[in-house]
Every structure is written in structure tokens, then in C-alpha cells.
Structure 1
């Protein structure tokens, strides 16, 4: 079968990723599990999964690879095969990124909850600054708040793009002629947008790590 090498590579990638995910999930602190227990780490078009543990994603990627095997056996159109491979690769990339950003996700959730509590407290109580130094705390934390807000914004954009990709890939299987070409072009455009969004997410995560590194070193 001419696609044996492709399938072997995908199964090898999945086996390696499974080991990394098992190590990740085993090392999760209870507090991280609690903070992310109701959080969807991915768009539901990409994975039906929520919480800190990532192992549920492995079974879903395995299901996709098996579906690809069947499509290859049926000699379906190249466009359908390309779309299926792109989806599998997107899932691999999403899990790999999630492996490295769990701590940041925990921090973002803690920050979001803290911000929500502060907004509620601000509405309930009209606090007066009688110390004269409240502006110092605000200026110190300003960059951190902005970075996490920006991270959450880009993560939401990425989920929306992934959702759109899922819709287009489903539509592609039922398209023909000019409609199929149009759908393929839209898929390529969405992949480019998703790539740029992920680059932005990586940049913001790097800035967060750079911002917090001095505080982490100081607290050791």
C-alpha cells in the first residue's frame, strides 16, 4: 500500500505522544486539576475534552487515524485525504502545545477568577483609597493582567478558527467541482490564519514566562 509509510509515521507519532501525555497527567498537582476541571482546553470541533488531563485526546486521534486508513482503502479523493491529514496534524499540534502550556492555563484561570472576584467586590463596595499607594500595586501588575487577557483573547480566536475548519472539512466531503475548490481554498486560508494565531499565542506565552521568571527566581 503506497500510504504505508504515512500511516506508520502517524502511528509512531501517536505512540510517542501517548507516553508524553501519560507523564503529563501523572504529574498534575491537585490544585491544577481543580482549577481546570471545568475548562475546555480545546474547541469542541477539535476535541471533546475538558479539564487538565489530556489523555482523552489520545483515543480521539487514534479514531481519526483509523478513519484515515479506511478512507485510503476506499481510494477517496486527494482533497478528502489532505483534509483528513491536516485535521490529524492539527490535533497533534494542539495536544503538544497543551502539554507545554498547562501551567500557563492554570495561571490564566486563576487570574480570570481573581479578576472576576475583584470586579464583583468593586461593584458591591465603593472602596476609597486612603493609603495613597494603591497605584503602585496597579502599575506592578498591569503588564501581567494585560498579557493574560491577551492570551485568553487569542485562545478564543484559535478555538473559533478551529471550529470553522471543522465545518469546512465536513462540508468538503460533500462538495464537487468548483465548490470543492472553493472549500479547499477556504480551508487553506483558515489554516494560515490558525498558524498566525498560534504564533501570536506562542509569543504571548513567551512574554508571560519572561515576565514571571524574575518573580519565580526570587521566590525560590
Structure 2
């Protein structure tokens, strides 16, 4: 294949890839573009490009082909031309791979953001719990005997609340319609109390683990 045929082949490849990229970019919705706006899709040696839109890559490949044409006119060595062609082919391959992986990249970023939100929610919940149960920390957390007594006390409270809920739900079946709404609200209130009690139990258990961890490490 002579140099003119080579340039014609690369230009034809670029035209076909341009059509694919135009369709790809057109099918992206604003949310997807925003999601990938800070994502690097390529190695910096291949393209200078960020985000979901791939058309800037077409412009850069076009510049590469123009540079190759100049090299041919300067009658550089065959090895230099082959090296330039190899780099252009690498860019073609990279863009095709990026077109096929856009959906995967979107799902990865979505999962990363969801994980970040979940971590933030857990930290917020933990911070809230620590603030809410400060009275436990201030009164019993420095005394290993007292902390287990507090844990047992909350387990007993939780069991009594569960029994009370079960009784109220049993009464609900035979309750007069005029009293049913009030009883349902009372059951809901008891469930909230049970939830708070279980949160306190988890808080105390976490603190027990924190206290006992250094002791366990020293006895290994």
C-alpha cells in the first residue's frame, strides 16, 4: 500500500468513526453528561479529553492524520511513518472502546456516588446517635460493670415494649372502629420507642467493643 492509499484508508476510517461518535454523543442525555463530566476516559498520551462527549477525540485524530500527511511530504523514514500510523490506530481503537464502555462507566460512577451517599448517611446516623445517647456515655461508659448493666436494662425495656406491641396488635383485631385509629397511633408510637431502644442497644454494644478491643489485642 502506497502512502496515498494509506492516507485515504485512514481518512475513510475517520469518517466512519465520526458518524459513530456523533450518534453516541447525541444519545447522551444531560444527566449522563453531568455524571461523567469529571471522568477521564483515556490515557493522557492518547487524548486530552474529559467526560462523556467523544467528538473532541475525532478532532484530535484528524490532526494526527494531517501531521502524518506532512511527514510523508517531508519524506521521513518508513519506520517513522509506521510509528505514526500505529499511534493513530491506537486512537481509533480507544475511541471505539470508549463508545462501547459508556454505559459501564455511567453505572460505575452511579455506584460510586451511591456508596458515597451511603457512607455519609452512616456517618450522619452515627454522629446523631452519639449526640442522642451522650447521657449514656457520661453516666456509665467509664465503668465496665455499669455499661453491661445498662445494656441489660435496655434489652429488658425492648422486650417489654415488644410484648406491649404484640398485646396492642392483638387488641386491634377486636377493637371498635371508633377506637381503632387511636390504638393504631399508639402502636406506631410504641414502635418508635422500640426503635430508639434498639438504637441505644447498638450504641452501647459499639462502645463495649471499643472499650474491650485494646484488652483483646493485649491478650493475643
User: Normalising to structure 1: TM-score of the pair?
Assistant: 0.54
Distance in structure 1 (CA, Å) of the matches to 2:26 and 2:8: 27
1:12 is matched with 12
Equivalent residue of 1:43, what SS?
A: coil
Map 1:99-138 to 2 at 5 A: 99-126=99-126
2:93 is matched with 93
Q: CA deviation at 1:115?
A: 1.9
Does residue 1:52 correspond to 2:52, yes or no? yes
Q: Which has the larger radius of gyration?
A: 2
Instruction: Give unpaired runs (5+ residues) of structure 1.
Output: 131-220
Q: CA deviation at 1:75?
A: 1.9
Distance in structure 2 (CA, Å) of the matches to 1:49 and 1:80: 26
Does residue 1:80 correspond to 2:80, yes or no? yes
The CA deviation string for residues 39-84 of structure 1, in whole angstroms up to 9 with x for no partner, is 1211222111111111111110000001011111112223322221
The size of the alignment, in residue pairs, is 131
User: Normalising to structure 2: TM-score of the pair?
Assistant: 0.54
Distance in structure 2 (CA, Å) of the matches to 1:103 and 1:87: 26
Equivalent residue of 1:72, what SS?
A: helix
Q: CA deviation at 1:112?
A: 1.4
Q: 1:79 to 1:125 in 2, by over 3 A?
A: farther
Which of the pair is proportionally richer in helix? Answer: 2
Q: 1:119 to 1:70 in 2, by over 3 A?
A: same
The CA deviation string for residues 116-148 of structure 1, in whole angstroms up to 9 with x for no partner, is 2333444454499x7xxxxxxxxxxxxxxxxxx
